[in-house]
Chain A
Amino acid sequence: MIRRFIPLLVFVGVAALLAMGIMQAPRKDLVPSPLIGKHAPNFSLPSLMHPHRMVSSTQLIGHWYLFNVWGTWCISCRQEYPELLAIARTGIVPLIGLDWKDTRGEALAFLSTKGDPYQRIAFDPGGLEAIHWGVYGAPETFLVNPQGIIVYKYIGPITPRAWTEDILPRLPADTTVAGS
C-alpha cells in the first residue's frame, strides 16, 4: 500500500521547493524602487554641521556617492553604523547623509560620540526631502553614479555582506573618494 504515502511524498516535494524558494528569493529584489535608473532628485539643504552652508546635488555630480537616509531615533541606523564607518575607512565611495526627521542637537551629539562616516550631511528635519527619494523608513541607502543616476537602492541596515555583494560590484574598479 504505497498509496497512503502519496500525500506525504507530495508534501515533502512541495516543502523542498519552498525551502529552495526561500534560499533563492533575494531579499533585495523584493521592493524594487521605481527610482532605479532615474535621476536622483535635485536638492539643496542646509548642512547638519554648518547650518549656514548648503549641501546640494549639483556639488555631487561627477562622482559616485552613497546617499544614506538616517536619524538618531532609528534603531536600525545605529545597527548599520559600524558598517558605515568601515565603508568610510575603505575610501572607495563617499557617504552623503540625509539626517531625517531629527533634531540638530541629538544628531551632533550622536556623531561626536560614535564617529562620523559621512563626507557631508544634509539636514531634513521636516522630512520633505526624503519624500522625493521615496523613502519608506530609515535606513535606506542609494548608490548614485557620476551622472547623477540612481543605480541601486538598499533597504534596511547595510551589512558587510550587502556592501561586498551588492554595492561594491556595482562600482567601477578604479573609484576612490573624490572631493574630500
Chain B
Amino acid sequence: MIPELGEFALILALLLAGLQALFGIGGPALRRERWVAAVNPAVAGQFVMVATSMGCLVTAFVQNNFTVRYVAENSNSQLPLFYRVAGVWGAHSGSLLLWIFLLGCWTVATAFGTARLPKQFSARVLGVLGAISFGFLLYTLLTSNPFIRLTTPWADGLGLNPLLQDPGLAGHPPMLYTGYVGLSVAFAFACAALLEGKLDREWARWTRPWTTAAWAFLTCGIVLGSWWAYYTLGWGGFWFWDPVENASFMPWLMATALIHSLAVTEKRGLFKSWTVLLAVLGFSLSLIGTFLVRSGILISVHSFAVSPGRGVFLLTFLVVMIGAALSLYAWRVPHLKSEAGFELTARESFLLFNNILLVTACGTVFAGEMAPIISLALGLGKLSVGPPYFNPTFLISMLPLLALLAVGIHARWKRGGLGGQGRTLLLTLAAAALVGCVTAIVIFHGRGVLAPVGMTLGTWIIFSSLIDPIERLRRRIAIPRAVLGMTIAHIALGIFVFSMTAVQGFTAERDVALANGASARAGGYTFQFEGVGPLHGRDYGGSIAKVVVTRDGRAVAVMHPATRMYWVQHTVTTKSAVLFHDGSNILVALGQNLGDGRWSLRLQVRPLVSFIWIAALIMAFGGLLAITDRRYRIEQARAQETVAALAGGKT
C-alpha cells in the first residue's frame, strides 16, 4: 500500500508543480491577480506531496519491502538501518526523488524568503522553480519510477553498493544535490528578472544570499566526495578530474564567479547582463552535469545503470529549460543597462578579471569534459582526457586569479587605486615569498618553480586578507559579517592553495611487498608489517593487517589496513588505514597476499593534505557567515515594520 501511496503522491506533485509553473509565470504575464495568489498554495501542496512520496520510499527501505524493485536492488535485510536510509539515494531513481525533494525544500524556503518582495516577482521566481520541478517529476514518473513493484518479490535484496556504505558518502549526495538544486534559485531569480525586464541593485541584493548558500552547500558536497574518494576508494589523491567530479566542479566555478559578479551588481549596478547570464549558466551546468552522469554518455565510477531512454528525455528537458532561459536572455537583455562606468584600477576591473578567469577555467574543464563525447560523435573513436590536460590548463587561469585576488581586495570601487595600501601589500608579498620559498626549499627540499610559487601565492592571499581586519581592529571599527565572511573564505583559499601545493609537490608514495616483521620507509616514516589476521563484520569478512609506524625511532601509531569481502554483493573493497600526524596524512592500504607470508602494501605520506578539506569547509563557512549579514536582514525588518504599520492603520 505504501509504495502505491508514494507513487500517487508523486503524480499529484506533478500536477501541482504544473499549476505552480502556470500560475507563477502566466499570472503576472496575463495580469491575473488570482493566479498570482494561488502560487503559494501550489508550492505548499507540491511540497507536501513530494515529502509524502519521499517518506514512502524511506519507509519501504526501512521496512525491507523487497516487493519494490528499487528497494530489492539497492538494499538488503542485513544492512544496518543507517545505510538502509542512505540506500534511498544509492541509485538512480531514488537520487532523482531526493533531487526533487531538495528542490521542494529550496522552493518553500524561497517562498518564505520572497514573501516580502513584490508579489509579481515572487510569483515568477516560484513559477520558474515549479517548471523545473515539473520536468524532473515527469522524468521520474516516465523513466525512473522508484515505486514499481516486482511481480515475484525477492526473498532478500541485492544489497547496497559496498562503496556507498560509508558515512562520508551517505552525506555526499544530499549535500551536493542541495548545492546543485540551490543554484536553481539563482536561476529562477534571473529568469524572473528577465521576464520583468527589470534588474536593479535590489535584485542583486535579493539574489546574493541564495547564491552564496547554494555555493556553500556545493562546496561542502564536493569536499565530502573528495574525502570519500580519498579514504574509501584509496585512489590516493583528493581530486582526479573524473567526469562526474568535473560535473560538480563546473557549477561551482560558475557559482563562484556569480557571487563576485553579484557583488558588483549590488554595489555599483554594473555587469547586469553578465550576472544574469552567469546565474543561468550556473544552473544549466548543474543540469548538464546531471545529464552527463545519468545518460551514461560518460563512463566513470559514478555512472549508474544506464538506459538510453533516460538520456533522451533528460536531453529534451535540458534543451527546453536552458534553451528557454537563453532565448529569454537574448530577447530581454537589451533592457538591462548598466548604470555607470569605472576606472581600470577599480575593484570592478579586478572582479571582472576574476569572472573572466573563473569562466575560462570552467570553459577549459568543460572542453575536457566534452572532448570524449565530441570524438565519439564525430566517429573518431574513444578518447580519454585526464590530468595531463586538466592540470596545466586549469593552472593557467588559476595562477593569475590568485595574484589578482591578493591585490584586488584592496582596490577601491569606481575610482580605483589601492587606498594607500600599496606599500603594505608589497611588504606582505615579500613576507609571503619568504615563507613560501623557505617552506618549499628548506623544509620540503623541493626543486622546481611551481612549488615555491604556489606556496608564495597561498601565503600572500592569507597575509593580504588579514591587512584590512587588522586595520579595523586597531581602529576599533566593527567588521560587518559580510566582510568577515569574505575574509574568512579568502584566507581559507590561501590555506587551500598552500596545502594543495605541498601535496602535489611533496607526496611520498611507495608500493612494497613485505614479509612478516619486515619494514619499509616512506616520507620520513618507517612502516613495520606485523602480519595479517581474519576480519569478521556484520555483512562482510576479510583480512586485517597490523602495521607499526615509527618516526626517528619513536612510535607514532599502529595502523590496521583491511580488505573487506561483502557476502551479499561478493565484492571486495579496500579499507585503507588513515592517520593524521603532524599535519601529514599517512595512508596504508592492504593489497594482495603474495604467498609465503608476503603481502603487498601501499604506503603514502601526504604533507598537509587534511588542510585541503578543512580549508574548503572553512571557505563554505565563510560563505554561510556572510549570508547572516545585517544588510540582508534589515530589509526584512523594515518590511515587517511596514506590514505592521499597515495592519495598525487598518484597525
> Which A positions have Cβ atoms within 8 angstroms of B?
1, 4-5, 7-8, 11-12, 14-15, 17-25, 27, 30-31, 72-73, 75, 131, 137
Contact = CB atoms under 8 A, between A and B. Distances in A.
Contact of A8 (B69, B151, B315, B327): B327
B457 interface: no
A14 B303 CA distance: 21
Contacts of A12: 323
B134 interface: no
Contact of A25 (B284, B322, B334, B376): B376
Contacts of B154: 73
A24 B295 CA distance: 12
Interface string B308-341: 1001100100110011001101100110000000
Nearest to A26: B376
B377 interface: yes
Given A19-B315, A75-B151, A11 B376 contact: no
Nearest to B328: A8
B338 to A, nearest CB: 14
B152 A22 contact: no
A25 B312 CA distance: 12
Given A18-B291, A22-B312, A24-B376, A75 B150 contact: yes
A110 to B, nearest CB: 10
10 contacts: A4-B330, A4-B334, A7-B330, A8-B326, A25-B295, A27-B296, A30-B303, A75-B150, A131-B570, A137-B158
A22 B154 CA distance: 33
A20 B330 CA distance: 26
Given A25-B297, A27-B308, A131-B570, A18 B373 contact: yes
Given A22-B297, A22-B315, A24-B379, A7 B370 contact: no
Interface of B: 69, 73, 150-152, 154, 158, 273, 277, 280-281, 284, 288, 291, 295-297, 299, 303, 306, 308, 311-312, 315, 318-319, 322-323, 326-327, 329-330, 333-334, 370, 373-374, 376-379, 570
Nearest to A32: B299
A73 B7 CA distance: 23
A22 B308 CA distance: 7
Dominant secondary structure at the B interface: helix
Contacts of B284: 11
A71 B284 CA distance: 43
When A and B form their complex, which 4 residue pairs have the shortest distance between CB atoms, in order from nearest? A20-B377, A21-B373, A8-B326, A4-B330
Nearest to B280: A7
A83 B300 CA distance: 31
A27 B297 contact: no
Contacts of A5: 330
Contacts of B323: 8, 11-12, 15
B383 to A, nearest CB: 12
B296 A30 contact: yes
Nearest to A10: B326
Contacts of A75: 69, 150-152
Contacts of B570: 131
B373 A17 contact: yes
B332 to A, nearest CB: 9
A19 B322 CA distance: 15
Contacts of A18: 288, 291, 295, 297, 315, 318, 373
B152 A17 contact: no
A72 B152 contact: yes
Nearest to A1: B334
Given A7-B281, A15-B323, 19 more contacts: A4-B330, A4-B333, A7-B326, A7-B329, A18-B295, A18-B297, A18-B373, A20-B377, A22-B295, A25-B308, A25-B311, A25-B376, A27-B306, A30-B299, A31-B306, A73-B154, A75-B150, A75-B152, A137-B73
B109 to A, nearest CB: 28
Contacts of B326: 7-8, 11
B370 A14 contact: yes
Contacts of B303: 30
A31 B299 CA distance: 9
Contacts of A30: 296, 299, 303, 306
Nearest to B154: A73
Contacts of B329: 4, 7-8
A19 B333 CA distance: 28
Contacts of B152: 72-73, 75
